[in-house]
Amino acid sequence: MRLSIWPGAGQRYDEILEVAGHAEATGWDGVYVADHFMPNAGPGRDAGGPTLECGTLVAALGAAVPRVRIGSLVYGNTYRHPAVLANMAATADHVTGGRFVLGVGAGWQVNEHEQYGIELPPVKQRLDRFVEALEVLHGLLRRPSTTFAGEYYRLADAVCNPKPVQDPLPILIGGGGERRMLGIVARYADVWNTWGRPDVIAHKSAVLDDFCAREGRDPKAIGRTAQALVVVDGPLPEAHMPVIGGSPAALADVLAEYRANGLDEFIVPDGLLGQGVDKLKAMDAIREVTG
């Protein structure tokens, strides 16, 4: 099972670069960056906090850190035309020398859309638009030219040149909705990602397998990745997101469950790992328990 780190984009660039460089030097497999412009507004949250932009950040890390895979987790479809995103992704793959993972999702964060005047459609319409965007991405990144006439996007003999270094550049889809999103994953994704403890990931992975069967696609063709908040040594906090660990031994046990359930990659958000040297020590402890 691969191990990757997810530094929060609310940190200074030098702090993110230090985390990515430490991951590079100590045997981690990847570094992921979220696509947001501000913290998610909610009780006790400051919506005006600093947030670095994902596309610029993945290119900078890709140039500065030469070995690990670099990925977006995940680009919100509502923020960019998919043709623009395809060209961004192809360029990032060249910057990284073929190490970029294009993570995409339907978009969801309300305050960003409200502040910037970006439409956030109802869920059905958002997913309909996302499916069209995936058709556009597949066409531009994998075919010489693309003509597409959808309800939301229209392309006429459109090109994306140069193509990515990787053939194909992996498209990761983030989401765990069992009514429709996992069906979209089954049709379009090379990699799937969602939040969850091992039991949740095992259940949703089985649902994804069922969708793959309906699509006539080999489930093994889709990589399985997941994340949860991680505590290396201390009490688990009350949180809306899944949290694992508490001690190195407990963390090792849970990571072993993920591995036994067939997870290909576990991604560690760095939000509960401390600051500065303490964070780097926590990363070393996580690396040690995963072997």
| DSSP one-letter code for 264 | S
Question: What is the pLDDT, as a whole number, of residue 42?
Answer: 66
pLDDT, one tens digit per residue, over 39-66 is 997 655 667 789 999 999 999 999 999 9
Query: Nearest 5°: phi and psi at 22?
Result: -70, -40
Give the percent of the chain with pLDDT over 90.
Answer: 96
- C-alpha torsion sign, points 50, 54, 60, 61: positive
Q: What integer best gives the mean pLDDT of the chain?
A: 96
The sign of the torsion formed by the CA atoms of 248, 193, 217, 94 equals negative
Query: How many domains, in total, are found in the chain?
Result: 1
Cα–Cα distance, 172 to 200 (Å, whole number): 19
Rounded Cα distance between 65 and 57, Å, is 12
User: Domain of 99?
Assistant: 2-289
Cα within 13 Å of Cα(157), Cβ side:
0
How far is it, in rounded angstroms, from Cα 212 to Cα 195? 20
Q: Summarize pLDDT for 6-43 with one digit per residue, the tens.
A: 999 999 999 999 999 999 999 999 999 999 999 997 65
Give tens-digit pLDDT for 124-170.
Answer: 999 999 999 999 999 999 999 999 999 999 999 999 999 999 999 99
pLDDT on residue 45: 64
CATH of the domain at 149: 3.20.20.30
CA angle, 106 as apex, 30 and 195 as ends, to 5°? 50
Q: Is the pTM above the cut of 0.95?
A: yes
- Per the structure block, which two tokens stand in for 4? 């990757």
